[in-house]
Amino acid sequence: MTKAELIEKLHAKFGAEITKRMIAELVDDVFENATAAVKKEGRFSYPGFGTFSLRKRKARKGRNPQTGAEIKIKASKTVGFRASKALKEKL
């Protein structure tokens, strides 16, 4: 599902009360706040859906597949997602 499809679905449900522009702003705000929570607190949890958490990768050695030369890969941060039990059961 794309952002536009999500907005369209929400508009079909709440269209008489709220405009597509307001729904788009609300969706953007939800994801901005989730991003800020992961950045500040290290996690964002939504009951019944799952938890987004900050994961740290250590620096490591890798190989360039074209030349076979060894390269250093810097440490980095990424976001992981763990689905809730309720979400897993719905799938």
- Each residue of 22-81: pLDDT tens digit? 999 999 999 999 999 999 999 999 999 999 999 999 999 999 999 999 999 999 999 999
Which pair of structure tokens corresponds to residue 87? 């979400």
Provide the pLDDT for residue 41: 92
Apex 20 CA angle, 16 and 21, nearest 5:
130
Provide the pLDDT for residue 34: 94
Superfamily designation of domain 3-90 = IHF-like DNA-binding proteins (4.10.520.10)
Domain residue limits, the chain: 3-90
The span from the CA of 39 to the CA of 54, in Å, is 7
For residue 15, pLDDT beyond 80: no
Provide the pLDDT for residue 78: 94
